[in-house]
């Protein structure tokens, strides 16, 4: 499950909340060449790599997708995704639009959710409140935000993030609905056959007692 939104749209907070609430989800920790922000932990928030380390990993084909976002490289490691999938959990990813486009090529079952801020003013306030941006990087983020908003057509779902709790609930409901799609229900044929078998036996029993 891919969550995208313009910077400040709230996708990271939504992803963190979902991971707290649901044990059937796992997070794919991305790699980045940007510096850690205060409080960020290597291996938990991101794997912080040098540009050389990042290029080397890319050369070894370790990324399911990678992109240049706001002047830094970001990438999803195939091994992170596979680790979560092998534990029978859904993978939650917080990646940008370019990454989402690449990722669905390798993982066509992906569910793409766009987190939409209620309006431009809220988005600007959220970005300014971070206080981590110099004017140059703020301008870069605003330009990418405009591009990301215009790419909404790539996404299967749009969730309005005016109220965090409601947005988390909406994404959680999407996960449930997607999990109930026929193609995703594991062992469905066997289950149906088991039920049919029981009914047929009962039917035979009735028919025998009538003849």
Could you tell me the sign of the dihedral formed by the alpha carbons of 168, 63, 80, 132, in that order?
A: negative
Q: Please, are residues 137 and 37 in contact by the beta-carbon 8 Å criterion?
A: no
| Closest alpha carbon to 30 in 94, 104, 121, 115 | 94
Q: Which stretch binds ligand 5GP (CB under 6 A): 72-80, 106-114, 150-158, 181-189?
A: 72-80
Residue in 17, 30, 123, 127 binding ligand 5GP, rule: CB under 6 A: 30
CB atoms within 10 A of CB 78: 16
Those residues whose C-beta lies under 8 Å from the C-beta of residue 130, and which sit 6 or more positions away, are 8
Residue in 14, 49, 57, 74 binding ligand 5GP, rule: CB under 6 A: 74
Binding of ligand 5GP by 96 (CB under 6 A): yes
Q: Which residues of 162-177 are buried (b: 16+ CB within 10 A; e: fewer)?
A: eeeeebbebbbebbee
Residue in 95, 115, 123, 168 binding ligand 5GP, rule: CB under 6 A: 95
Which CB sits closer to ligand 5GP, 105 or 193?
A: 105
For residue 23, report the phi and psi dihedrals to the nearest 5 degrees. -85, -10
Binding of ligand 5GP by 94 (CB under 6 A): yes
Which CB sits closer to ligand 5GP, 70 or 89?
A: 70
Query: What DSSP character marks residue 117?
Result: P
Which CB sits closer to ligand 5GP, 30 or 175?
A: 30
Q: Which stretch binds ligand 5GP (CB under 6 A): 65-73, 117-125, 155-163, 185-193?
A: 65-73
Q: How far is the CB of 29 from ligand 5GP (least distance, A)?
A: 9
Structure tokens that stand for 175 in this block: 């996960």
| Closest alpha carbon to 92 in 100, 81, 103 | 81
Binding of ligand 5GP by 67 (CB under 6 A): yes
Residues that bind ligand 5GP (CB under 6 A): 7, 30, 34, 65, 67, 69-70, 74-76, 94-96, 98-99
């Amino acid at each position: 499950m891919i969550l995208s939104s313009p910077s400040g749209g709230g996708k990271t907070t939504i992803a963190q909340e979902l991971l707290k609430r649901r044990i059937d989800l796992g997070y794919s920790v991305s790699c980045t060449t940007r510096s850690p922000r205060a409080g960020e932990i290597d291996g938990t928030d991101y794997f912080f790599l040098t540009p050389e380390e990042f290029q080397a990993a890319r050369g070894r084909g370790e990324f399911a997708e990678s992109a240049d976002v706001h002047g830094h490289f970001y990438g999803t490691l195939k091994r992170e995704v596979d680790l979560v999938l092998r534990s029978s959990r859904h993978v939650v990813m917080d990646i940008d639009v370019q990454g989402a486009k690449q990722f669905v090529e390798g993982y066509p079952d992906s569910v793409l959710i766009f987190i939409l801020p209620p309006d431009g003013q809220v988005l600007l306030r959220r970005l300014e409140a971070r206080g981590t941006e110099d004017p140059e990087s703020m301008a870069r983020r605003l330009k990418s935000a405009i591009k990301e908003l215009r790419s909404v057509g790539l996404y299967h779902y749009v969730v309005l993030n005016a109220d965090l709790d409601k947005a988390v609930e909406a994404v959680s409901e999407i996960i449930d609905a997607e999990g109930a799609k026929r193609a995703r229900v594991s062992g469905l044929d066997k289950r149906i056959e088991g039920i049919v078998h029981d009914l047929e036996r009962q039917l035979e029993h009735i028919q025998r007692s009538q003849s």
